[in-house]
A = this chain, B = another copy of it.
Amino acid sequence: MLKKFTYTTKTRLEMIDVTADVAQAVSDFGVNYGLVYVFSPHTAAAVTVMEATDPNLKKDLNHALSKLFPYKDPDYTHLGNNADAHLKVATLGAGQTLIIDNGHIILGEWQGIYLCELDGPRQREIYIKVAQGM
């Protein structure tokens, strides 16, 4: 069983809170103890677990990462205008693991799971899989 969710992004840089969808997938799997992995099959979209309460942080993350990996930096040799997006994926990660305990994902009070669109607008998917523990 592989769970997929699809999202349509509207701007180049966008962060979508997918926490509820991941929780739904874990419930559908019916696994009570183990690990769940959330994966972006895209080279210009990442997955991160971070502070998800203050929406301003989405802006701050995109602003800070864009200083580190500038859009259309003349230094890039990549064919195409989205080298910055590919490099941000390497930094943030293409996927994130969460713990399943007692049927629920473990997240701290302020944490959430974000799909990070880094070269939108596009249609994006996340794939979700579990592994059983105890």
**Which residues of A line the B interface, CB within 8 A?**
1-2, 29, 31, 33-35, 37, 39-44, 48-51, 54, 56-57, 59-61, 63-64, 68-69, 73, 75-80, 83, 86-87, 89-101, 106-111, 127, 129-134
Are A99 and B87 in contact (CB-based, < 8 A)?
no
Min CB distance, A55 to chain B, in Å? 9
Q: A34 to B34, alpha carbons, bound, how many Å? A: 11
Oligomer: number of copies: 3
Q: A48 to B91, alpha carbons, bound, how many Å? A: 9
Are B79 and A54 in contact (CB-based, < 8 A)?
yes
- A99 and B1 contact, Cβ closer than 8 Å, known pairs A50-B89, A93-B93: no
Min CB distance, A42 to chain B, in Å? 6
Min CB distance, A74 to chain B, in Å? 12
Contact for A94 among B1, B54, B111, B127, CB less than 8 A:
B111
